[in-house]
């Protein structure tokens, strides 16, 4: 985290916006910042970003190293004598009975800790796959145009026509055992269209830029133009859409697992725990509510993160 | 205008065929057998299974099956459900009105409350009111519908006993209110945010300054100048949301036990009843396409600068 002095220097030198400073500023102030360093400059002082970043780091640690948080196992029966009606022991912070036990006597706290991995992996995995696939399709369609564009755009329309949740249910229903990877591939298969559209739009604008024409005139190969000139400039809108979508994919995985068509045992997932806690809603609501709240907190962290990134990268929206 | 509509309708055909074929393909070409699922655990004669399959046309190549299926569908024949023996058209006719009712209810809620909140926030950007509403919508977006559904069901029905936990009569608008609110919440939050951003952006535009300088009454400035321009992205979003609301109903109907299309499709999926799933899915694709066409036509109403040739 930046300390006070660094921040002060940054403000002093960075006050006039670089674009203005080039011709309007009486005293030119240092090097003009690139879009990315400008965004980073904004992000560092955005409380929304800091809070969400801390939460996300916390969730990531939980996902990578769950045994750091609890010694209890998420799959073993930790409570034989007492039953799920026993309310959470709020005093026993981080203890195995902290958040109570579920219908099968398993520690809810341990299941929360171990469930983070599935949610985060699916969210990040789908976002990465969707971004790569969507960017490739969008770039090819936007750059080459003509019949290639028509073909790829129609294909995008076709996939957009399939309702996301329904499509995911149909794909996943065909698998008996659904691991994290199956869910990632299924969601990516259906979800790439949004990024493809954004990437295509960005590429169409950029390919008319002078630097692209210049690169072409200098004899740069198509691959070089795409990778060195077009991709870096089209990246900002793609990243904005991708970061915001991440939270949505986590919510989608939880919803599918809740419907019983997402992750299956032995994968520990919050959505699945909500669905098993369902019949206890009347007598032991905490069995259902705790994993639900955890899903919401995770989605919220990623949404806030995405919001902050968007505000920093897309100054038009401010 | 007429030619534009005709062209758009023609363009919809390949998209409809493509989308339904993908769903059809996933349903039939991937493992899972409805005839054997029907037999359950009892011993069966492979010859009997084969003959049932032959009767149902399940032994033909997938493309052939699709063409036959679509040919029947266009004539209004949705096929027969294997497990119950009921015509699928009947099942849809029973369940569809329920979901339509729920969707319309939720959609009205989304449009009125969502746009309303967006206007309230957008007219005074960066005030406490605006920040408060943005935070509220952020919370709504981060709650998947099953979280909000169970939370409200627990609080309203079990704790405070103001509503019934499940819907017993799907014609009762009062009972449908809670599921509709839960179904609407996510879209509502998006619509509010979109309206807010759009309005806040347009507030700074030149035509707004001109309108104020001309001395037009505030009602006209906001109601006509600002609204017509700001609502275009919102209308686009609302059009796409119709389809999402209908599929979102799968979750909401499950929570509140509404006997609609969502429950039917969910049960059909677990029995691997391809015909039922594809039939309902085709209808949903059709509604989605129709909604996006209507949205495009609405642009011309909202913005006279847009003309269709």
pLDDT for residue B27: 80
Q: How far is A197 from chain B (nearest CA, A)?
A: 15
Q: For B10-45, how does the pLDDT look when each residue is reduced to its tens digit (9 = 90+)? A: 888 888 899 888 888 888 766 656 666 666 666 667
Spatial CB neighbours of A4, under 8 Å, sequence gap ≥ 6: none
SS3 letters for B129-191?
Answer: HHHHHHHHHHHHHCCCHHHHHHHHHHHHHHHCCCCCCCCCCCCCHHHHHHHHHHHHHHHHHHH
* Average pLDDT of the segment spanning A25-34: 57
Per-residue pLDDT band at A21 (split at 50, 70, 90): very low
pLDDT of residue A78 exceeding 90, the answer is no
Residues of chain B with Cβ-Cβ distance to A303 below 8 Å are 138, 141-142
First-residue to last-residue Cα distance in chain A: 24
| 8 Å CB contact of B141 and A261 | no
B283 touches chain A (CB under 8 A): no
* Average pLDDT of the segment spanning B258-270: 85
pTM of the predicted model as reported, rounded to 2 decimal places: 0.84
CA atoms within 13 A on the CB side of B122: 26
Q: Return d(Cα B168, Cα B259) in angstroms, integer.
A: 9
pLDDT for residue B51: 75
Domain extent listing, chain A? 51-317
| 8 Å CB contact of B22 and A162 | yes
CB B240 within 8 A of CB B303: no
**Of all helices (H) and strands (E), which one includes residue B195?**
helix B173-203
B269 touches chain A (CB under 8 A): yes
Q: What is the dihedral of CA A162, A166, A168, A170, to 10 degrees?
A: -100
Residues of chain B with Cβ-Cβ distance to A153 below 8 Å are none
| Position with higher pLDDT, A76 vs A233 | A233
- Tokens encoding B137: 């919508």
Least confident of B71-75, B129-133, B284-288: B71-75
Residue indicated by tokens 């919050």: A270
CATH superfamily of A51-317: MetI-like (1.10.3720.10)
Which residue, A259, A65, B157, A92, is CA-closest to A101?
Answer: A92
Which residue, A191, A173, A186, is CA-closest to A264?
Answer: A173
Residues of chain B with Cβ-Cβ distance to A299 below 8 Å are 141-144
pLDDT of residue A134 exceeding 90, the answer is yes
b/e for B165-192, b at 16 or more Cβ within 10 A? bebeebeeeebbebbbbbbbbbbbbbbb
B42 touches chain A (CB under 8 A): no
- In A115-144, the residues whose Cβ lies within 8 Å of chain B are none
Strand, helix or coil at B221? helix
| 8 Å CB contact of B246 and A303 | no
* Average pLDDT of the segment spanning A133-150: 92
Q: For A182-193, how does the pLDDT look when each residue is reduced to its tens digit (9 = 90+)? A: 999 999 999 999
pLDDT for residue B308: 64
CA distances from B237 to A4, A8, A199, B251 (A): 43, 42, 19, 21
**Exposed (0-12), middle (13-18) or buried (19+): which is B143, by Cβ within 10 Å?**
buried
CB A165 within 8 A of CB B247: yes
| Position with higher pLDDT, B56 vs B157 | B157
Q: Return d(Cα B119, Cα A150) in angstroms, integer.
A: 38
b/e for B148-163, b at 16 or more Cβ within 10 A? bbbbbbbeebeeeeeb
Which of B6-10, B156-160, B192-196 is most confident?
B192-196
Out of A162, A173, A259, closest to residue B285 by CB:
A162
Per-residue pLDDT band at B265 (split at 50, 70, 90): confident
A190 touches chain B (CB under 8 A): no
Size of interface A-B (CB pairs under 8 A): 131
The fraction of chain B above a pLDDT of 70, given in percent, is 92
pLDDT of residue A10 exceeding 60, the answer is no
CB A190 within 8 A of CB A168: yes
Q: Return d(Cα B36, Cα A158) in angstroms, integer.
A: 32
Q: For B49-89, how does the pLDDT look when each residue is reduced to its tens digit (9 = 90+)? A: 777 777 766 777 778 888 888 888 888 777 777 777 788 88
pLDDT of residue B276 exceeding 50, the answer is yes
Residues of chain B with Cβ-Cβ distance to A292 below 8 Å are 146-147, 150-151
| 8 Å CB contact of B143 and A161 | no
Mean per-residue pLDDT of chain A: 81
């Amino acid at each position: 985290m930046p300390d006070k002095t660094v921040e002060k220097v940054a403000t002093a030198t960075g006050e006039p916006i670089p674009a203005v400073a080039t011709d309007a500023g009486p005293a030119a102030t240092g090097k003009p910042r690139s879009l990315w360093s400008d965004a980073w400059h904004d992000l560092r002082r955005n409380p929304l970003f800091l809070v969400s970043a801390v939460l996300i780091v916390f969730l990531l640690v939980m996902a990578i190293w769950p045994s750091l948080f609890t010694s209890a196992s998420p799959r073993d029966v930790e409570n034989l004598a007492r039953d799920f009606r026993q309310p959470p022991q709020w005093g026993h912070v981080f203890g195995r009975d902290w958040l109570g036990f579920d219908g099968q006597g398993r520690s809810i706290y341990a299941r929360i800790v171990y469930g983070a991995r599935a949610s985060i992996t699916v969210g990040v995995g789908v976002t990465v796959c969707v971004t790569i696939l969507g960017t490739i399709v969008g770039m090819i369609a936007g750059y080459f145009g003509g019949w290639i564009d028509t073909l790829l755009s129609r294909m995008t329309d076709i996939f957009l026509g399939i309702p996301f949740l329904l499509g995911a249910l149909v794909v996943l229903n065909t698998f008996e055992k659904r691991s994290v990877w199956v869910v990632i591939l299924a969601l990516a298969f259906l979800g790439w269209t949004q990024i493809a559209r954004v990437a295509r739009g960005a590429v169409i604008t950029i390919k008319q830029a002078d630097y692209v024409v210049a690169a072409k005139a200098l004899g740069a190969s198509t691959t070089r133009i795409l990778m060195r000139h077009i991709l870096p400039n089209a990246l900002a809108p793609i990243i904005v859409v991708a970061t915001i979508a991440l939270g949505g994919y986590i919510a989608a995985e939880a919803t599918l697992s809740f419907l019983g068509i997402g992750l299956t045992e032995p994968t520990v997932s919050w959505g699945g725990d909500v669905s098993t806690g369902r019949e206890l809603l009347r007598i032991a609501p905490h069995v259902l509510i705790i994993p639900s709240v955890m899903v919401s907190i995770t989605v919220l962290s990623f949404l806030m993160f995405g919001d902050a990134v968007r505000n920093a990268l897309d100054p038009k929206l401010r | 205008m007429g030619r534009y509509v005709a062209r758009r309708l023609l363009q919809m055909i390949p998209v409809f065929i493509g989308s339904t074929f993908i769903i059809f393909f996933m349903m039939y070409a991937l493992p899972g057998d409805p005839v054997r699922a029907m037999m359950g655990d009892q011993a069966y004669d492979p010859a009997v299974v084969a003959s049932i399959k032959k009767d149902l046309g399940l032994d033909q190549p997938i493309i052939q099956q699709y063409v036959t299926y679509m040919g029947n569908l266009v004539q209004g024949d949705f096929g027969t459900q294997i497990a119950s023996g009921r015509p699928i058209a009947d099942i849809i006719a029973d369940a569809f009105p329920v979901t339509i009712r729920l969707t319309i209810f939720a959609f009205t809620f989304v449009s009125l409350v969502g746009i309303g909140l967006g206007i309230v926030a957008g007219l005074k950007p960066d005030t406490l009111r605006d920040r408060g509403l943005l935070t509220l919508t952020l919370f709504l977006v981060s709650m998947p519908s099953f979280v909000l559904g169970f939370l409200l069901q627990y609080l309203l029905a079990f704790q405070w006993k103001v509503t019934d936990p499940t819907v017993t009569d799907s014609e009762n608008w009062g009972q449908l209110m809670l599921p509709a609110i839960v179904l609407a919440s996510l879209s509502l939050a998006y619509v509010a945010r979109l309206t807010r951003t759009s309005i806040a952006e347009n507030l700074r535009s030149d035509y707004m300054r001109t309108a104020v300088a001309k001395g037009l009454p505030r009602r006209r400035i906001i109601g006509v100048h600002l609204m017509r321009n700001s609502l275009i992205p919102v209308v686009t979003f609302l059009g796409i949301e119709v389809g999402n609301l209908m599929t979102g109903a799968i979750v909401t109907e499950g929570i509140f036990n509404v006997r609609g299309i969502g429950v039917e499709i969910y049960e059909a999926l677990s029995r691997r009843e391809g015909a039922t799933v594809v039939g309902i899915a085709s209808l949903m694709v059709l509604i989605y396409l129709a909604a996006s066409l209507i949205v495009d036509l609405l642009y011309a109403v909202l913005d006279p600068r847009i003309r269709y040739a």
